[in-house]
Amino acid sequence: MDHSAGLPPFPSTEAAVTALRETADRHGREFLVEHAVGADQSARRTAAGAFAVTDEDGSLPHEALIELPGSPEIEIQVFSEGDSHITVEGITFHDVPTAHAPAFLDAVLARRARVKTTWYPPFARLIVPLPGDITYKEVVTMAHGAGMTRWLSSITR
């Protein structure tokens, strides 16, 4: 399913960072950002030659790592390809379109996210609903290194 349907992509990584910062500010959260600019700094750029700063097409890739310390602890990796990895309390949601990242962050900080558990088999899933009938779900297990933190337990239904 293409979750990004109908949403324009951000024109740049910096525009995405600005939108995420505004969302964090509305919720009174600290916002730390580290930028990686250039193919030699980018985590995903393996096609560029050794010590190259630009991609083969001459573009300058720009990625950002955002941290929101506190409860819940959130980390967002914004990639220049238009997707993000969002980690909430140690649980990573891969390949979230960057266009969804501010709404995702808002849902988590506004406590619209929830953990749903089942008794048999014992199972928990972090569910993050976005406007437009878009929902992201990820399993909560000890393999994620998080288990049921205090914050996750507080949103369990």
State the average pLDDT over residues 121-147: 83
Q: What per-residue string of b and e applies to 14-29 under the rule 16 or more CB within 10 Å gives b?
A: eebbebbeebbeeeeb
* Cα separation, 124 vs 88, whole angstroms: 14
pTM for the full predicted model:
0.83
The structural domains of the chain, with segments of one domain joined by +, span 13-154
Highest mean pLDDT among 19-28, 30-39, 56-65: 19-28
Instruction: Determine what percent of the chain falls in helix, strand and coil, rounding each to the nearest 5.
Output: 20, 30, 45
* Cα separation, 58 vs 115, whole angstroms: 44
Structure confidence by residue, pLDDT tens digits, 74-118: 999 998 888 999 999 999 999 999 999 999 999 999 999 999 988
- The radius of gyration computed from the CA coordinates of the chain, to the nearest angstrom, equals 17
User: Would you say 107 and 113 are in contact if contact means Cβ atoms under 8 Å apart?
Assistant: yes
- Using a 10 angstrom Cβ sphere, with 0-12 exposed, 13-18 middle and 19 or more buried, the burial of residue 6 is exposed
DSSP H helical segments within 27-149, as ranges? 101-109
Least confident of 27-31, 57-61, 113-117, 150-154: 57-61
